[in-house]
Amino acid sequence: MRRLPLLALIAALSVPAGAMAQSTAQQMLDTARQIRADVEKLKDSLPADARAAMLKQADDIERSAASGDYAGVGAAPKPPTNAERILAERGRLDWLFAEAACTGYTQDNYQTFRYSPSINERDSHCRNAHGHWATYVRYARDPAAAEGAEQAPFYYDAATRRAVDHYGRR
């Protein structure tokens, strides 16, 4: 029975070097396949309980890989969300409220407030920015709307940049 850990180690080390580029789950599946192949090769020289233990180990590895136990191990870091990116760049998510470009606009009046009676770029950018912010706030409260909560900060940031750039040109 003392040979079992040694055989498992040999099987794990016999995985080709090219497997390093594979995902961890795929590497574990390859290891389980290699353990099964080793059991088949050594079936005449291994005791029955050692064969059964090695096959059980291969089954456990395959079950763990199928259930996603190895999914996060060794995976590349997840890219930041739009909200995280804006926080890192601007220091706050609602950075428009700290800018003078859309002074006068609030979440309560953005749909009706105007700087001038005619529609102009500044008004449209400020309205769009506040509208996207309202969308973000609404979606952020609903776990089922994760996609909308991810997209809204992107559009908010773009509209806010346009409003600030337009205000800076005047």
Higher local confidence (pLDDT), 76 or 91: 91
For residue 152 the two structure tokens come to 């809204």
φ, ψ for residue 18 (rounded to 5)? -65, -15
3-state SS string for 35-97: HHHHHHHCCCCCCHHHHHHHHHHHHHHHHHHHCCCCCCCCCCCCCCCHHHHHHHHHCCCCHHH
The per-residue pLDDT for 136 is 92
Is the predicted pLDDT of residue 120 greater than 60, yes or no?
A: yes
Is the predicted pLDDT of residue 122 greater than 60, yes or no?
A: yes
How deeply is 17 buried, as exposed, middle or buried, from its count of CB atoms within 10 A (0-12, 13-18, 19+)? exposed
Is the predicted pLDDT of residue 163 greater than 50, yes or no?
A: yes
The per-residue pLDDT for 62 is 87
The per-residue pLDDT for 9 is 47
The per-residue pLDDT for 115 is 79
The per-residue pLDDT for 44 is 85
The per-residue pLDDT for 18 is 44
Residue 110 CA to residue 105 CA, distance in Å, equals: 5
**What is the mean predicted confidence (pLDDT) over 107-113?**
88
Residue 12 CA to residue 65 CA, distance in Å, equals: 15
**What is the mean predicted confidence (pLDDT) over 95-107?**
88
The per-residue pLDDT for 97 is 87
Quote the pTM value: 0.54
Instruction: Look at the block and give the residue holding tokens 């769009």.
Output: 128
pLDDT tens per residue across span 4-56 = 454 454 555 555 544 444 577 788 889 889 989 988 888 888 888 888 888 89
Domain ranges of the chain: 3-66, 82-169
Residue 167 CA to residue 156 CA, distance in Å, equals: 16
The type of residue at 127 is R
The per-residue pLDDT for 73 is 56
The per-residue pLDDT for 148 is 87
